[in-house]
Chains A and B, each alone.
Chain A
Amino acid sequence: MGIQTWTFLLVGLSFALYIGIAIWARAGSTKEFYVAGGGVPPVANGMATAADWMSAASFISMAGLISFIGYDGSVYLMGWTGGYVLLALCLAPYLRKFGKFTVPDFIGDRYYSQTARTVAVICAIFVSFTYVAGQMRGVGVVFSRFLEVDIVTGVLLGMCVVFFYAVLGGMKGITYTQVAQYCVLIFAYLVPAIFISVMMTGNPVPQLGFGGTLADGSGVYLMDKLNGLSTELGFNEYTSGTKSTIDVFFITFALMVGTAGLPHVIVRFFTVPKVSDARLSAGWALVFIAILYTTAPAIASFARVNMIETINGPEGQGVAYEQAPGWIKNWEQTGLIGWEDKNDDGRMFYAGDERNEMAIDRDIIVMANPEIAKLPAWVIALVAAGGVAAALSTSAGLLLVISTSISHDLLKRNLMPNITDKQELLYARIAAACGIAVAAYLGINPPGFVAEVVAFAFGLAASSFFPAIILGIFYKKMNKEGAIAGMLTGITFTAAYIVYFKFINPAANTPDNWWLGVSPEGIGTLGMIFNFVVAFIALKLTREAPDHIKELVESLRYPKGAGQAQDH
């Protein structure tokens, strides 16, 4: 069977599985719709959280990015895992004890203010939409490369599946579907990694393999070979970066804090039965995420060596274009790889200086990797199914945040407090359906700046939610004036900095012009610091939080009597 038949088969089977689960786990009440009735065991919740969190970006783009930038790629690895430590230690157990459905709920109640709630709702919706658009694009890319349908059909197909299980099943359907999606995506990620690790180093564990010696009997360490190749070809040494230390520091911090402040991740910890389960659930989530995140850098270095060797040839003289391997020709059709024979020798050559003749898109590394390593067709199809699973699971989680924010935070708690449980559920489903329609539109007509927008989402989450939640739990006296002033300052500063460098004056986006040498990706960290400072100043100028709020905060700190996630 060819690659295309295998892809149809595997993607089709996985879709059938997701829909079957959705029918089995239909939601009947708002509580089931929003937080799966608060009854999901920690291991399953951890797996669902992992699938929710690992998007098409983690699955498709991350290893490729690391492959091209080496050490600098560590910011994503540390940033997107370290945030879970903050989440598990500083947020999850207390928010679970609080026992409401959403992050704006917490902000609104803790700071006894509709204004604070509204600011939080707007942030949550904005962050979620920027994210969904990127996911839909991921689905489109996978479909167009492997099924050879056009991107529009691919996006619509993906939307139908998400619509079916998110609107019908709510959080309950999504949670169990995500467990299945995690299994699909991690299997799809590990199989080619293990194959390639064995081929290159003889070690079946990729995490160890990329620190081992090459299997060709030369006794040279893989990393030494990679560093050698890199410097020879005019790149930076793979194990050292080009970004300044302060920038790496700030970006990593912004990603960590942003992770801990993302509403679709936080809401996951409302779905477990007990406070102790919320702690444990974050632990499991990180275990499942770490499996992929420790494999990614291994894939990155294998792919780098493989790619350089197949293009430049074992002698490093370049391979004649007529003899180019199939994957180069396949990907040339998508326009993601290009060759220009600058020195007219008919050979391809890849380098970091003027000798370079190749243009290679970073995003193809994970998808092309099995082809580069000449793995069987079913492995390549499996990677396609995994990429779709990663994109769908994240989209579903985000759509739920959007629908909850609208039906619960905006309508029920703000505009129309008298609607019944049934009506609220109906509004939630309508909101989810509208959300899907908007996401599909964005997926088909993507704003040209999806990657920039993702940096935006993290910066905003880091500079707005994180300080407000931390202070809400750990500082009883913090009042609404402090929280609102802090959130607004953090968001405004961060948004202004990013908008200036990314949209208004992109030409100035160089280290010389950055404030303190911090790039727009890392500016959320500064925004967060400003948020804290302004909150404290505002607190000094106004009255501290009233006594009943202090008692509420006190009660968050002790696990006993968490009860169910409450209905209102």
Chain B
Amino acid sequence: MSFETNEHAQAYWKENLRLLITLLVIWFTVSFGFGILLVEQLNNIQLFGFKLGFWFAQQGSIYVFVVLIFVYVLKMRALDRKYNVQEDEE
């Protein structure tokens, strides 16, 4: 392990987990929440030709998934730098 101290290692892992949980909550909300559990309520709202719940199930959730992964990539890159555990450039 290449952390300066053991505390650093633990703090890094904690921050990593916090980010993970936040992103997974969003992941769950847009797909299982908006797309499945709340779909009927959201279908009462119309967005152009789409009913909103239907749109989340067939379009919106997928766009959010893509954004989530890229947010994760950027945040983790920053976290690696903060704790100086980024991989060396080859």
Contacts and interface: CB of A to CB of B under 8 A. Distances in A.
Contact of B49 (A66, A210, A294): A210
B49 A224 contact: yes
A275 interface: yes
Contacts of B36: 74, 245, 248-249, 252
B90 interface: yes
Contacts, number: 141
Contact of A294 (B12, B63, B87): B63
A562 B88 CA distance: 10
A555 interface: yes
A464 interface: no
Nearest to A241: B39
B73 interface: yes
B68 A560 contact: no
Interface in B15-68: 16, 20, 23-24, 27, 31-32, 35-37, 39-40, 43, 47-51, 54-55, 57-59, 61-63, 65-66, 68
A252 B31 contact: yes
Contacts of A222: 49
Interface in A74-107: 74, 77-78, 81-82, 84-86, 88-90, 93
Contact of A559 (B51, B57, B65, B87): B87
Contacts of B57: 71, 74, 77-78
Contact of A283 (B24, B58, B66): B66
Contacts of B86: 276, 559-560
B55 A290 contact: no
Interface in A199-222: 207, 210-213, 221-222
A297 interface: yes
Contacts of A74: 35-36, 54, 57-58
Nearest to B28: A82
Interface residues of B, number: 46
Given A78-B31, A78-B57, A558-B12, A274 B62 contact: no
Interface of B: 1-3, 9, 12-13, 16, 20, 23-24, 27, 31-32, 35-37, 39-40, 43, 47-51, 54-55, 57-59, 61-63, 65-66, 68-70, 72-73, 76-77, 80, 85-87, 90
20 contacts: A77-B58, A82-B27, A89-B69, A211-B55, A221-B48, A239-B43, A240-B43, A240-B54, A245-B36, A273-B90, A274-B87, A276-B86, A283-B66, A293-B62, A294-B58, A294-B59, A557-B12, A559-B86, A561-B2, A561-B87
Interface of A: 66, 71, 73-74, 77-78, 81-82, 84-86, 88-90, 93, 207, 210-213, 221-224, 239-240, 245, 248-249, 252-253, 273-276, 279-280, 282-283, 286-287, 290, 293-294, 297, 554-555, 557-562
Given A82-B61, A93-B76, A239-B54, 11 more contacts: A66-B58, A73-B58, A74-B36, A81-B61, A82-B27, A89-B20, A89-B24, A210-B49, A211-B50, A239-B51, A249-B37
9 interchain residue pairs of minimum CB distance: A221-B49, A74-B57, A283-B69, A211-B49, A297-B58, A239-B54, A560-B85, A211-B50, A560-B2
